[in-house]
Structure 1
Amino acid sequence: MKNLKYQVKSLNVGKIETLTYGNRTFESAIRKKSVKEPIFLSKTGFMSDEQAYEHHGGEDKAICLYPYDYYSYWSDILNNFSNTALFGENLTVKGLKEDNAHIGDIYTFGEAIIQVSEPRNPCYKLAAKYEVPNMVIRMRDTGYTGFLLRVLKEGMVTSNDDLELLEEHPQQVSVSLVNDVKFFDRFNKEKLEKVLSVDALSESLRAILLKQFQSKTTNLWG
């Protein structure tokens, strides 16, 4: 097994607020702040962290991770650029990206054990926050979406703890491949079958991809 560690640049939590960006007002916990002190990570996420949207959070989506590696790409594109929790992610991590993270990969993180479950789905709130109308399309087209994880073992964690690969999923279906069948090669039976065969895929995304596998109806996205 590969002995891989990935540095956590920041651990971020936030509370639900009513935010107004331009002509949009909505409930969101996207303005997360980094914390240095130890924090408890439960099956549903970090203590003191909140999610305003029904499709965020839950046991399959307890943690949102975004690669720090992409911050330099976005720095010339976004208004009000932030070096912390740029996209409201819980974990900003260096070196762990969509192409080398696989659905079902398991990592130790402090006392906790966590597992990759699905790509993050970009939403309009990011476009509103940064005043970039095509923000969602940019994230989709670059593949710089980040991804979500579930918690297999609860425990105390800190921003000084690395993510260390404990077990690589044997099927090695990358987050990038899942993004591909979500957004582009949507009716490729071989790719869809490969993704759907991974037991660790989140149930909500499995239901969506299963419909794609069973139907040739085009569902526009973005």
Structure 2
Amino acid sequence: MVISAPDGLGFLASAGPALVWLIVLSFVFIECAVILGLFLPGDSMLITAGIVLANHSSGTGHVWALSAGAMTAAICGNQVGYAIGHRTGNHILARRGGKYLNYTNLHRVNMLLERRGFWAVLIARWIPWVRTLCPLVAGAAKMNHAKYTVASSIGAILWAPVLLLIGFYGGSLLDRVPWLMPAVLTFMVVLLLIGTTVGVWHYRQEMARPPEEVAVEEVRD
């Protein structure tokens, strides 16, 4: 089982689907569970993984199995994020002057949960920075755990598998044009690597800012 990749991406050919599985499950879990996920390119990673698997001889079986795995990783990550928020109480440490982890964004998520509840958790899955902050704020705001679990699980089902399959079936169409697949695959992987590197750098910059305690209002059922 070998992935046909351009010379600059030879590591994909040697690693095969195992590397794709490792990256996808790690990124999805981190993005749903901890603050570092604010800075990771989760959506583009899932689409890129689908394209990579489309260029693999047994990609169909892998992409459906990975869709189930990514969905599970997202659900587990949501629960970990909720638990972390719940343990912090109603005060969350933000960063003074932070770009993402700041009072304004935490307050916005808190108000969204207060006004929309179930639907806010469902919709948050499709908004990158809200996707990471929502479990944390929901836990700190003592949102009903059963309602949160149902909403976040449905969101996970509609997020990770959908993006993976878009990448996979889109990649299958690209594969019909010999020169187009390597070009798109190279572009997507390079974009993912740059996005991850920049994201980690931004995370370090954000965490270096002075902490600021933000009070979270309890979400009424």
TM-score normalised by structure 1 residue count? 0.25
TM-score normalised by structure 2 residue count? 0.25
Could you say which structure has the higher strand fraction?
A: 1
If asked which structure has higher relative contact order (CA below 8 Å, sep 6+), I would say 2
Could you say which structure has the higher helix fraction?
A: 2
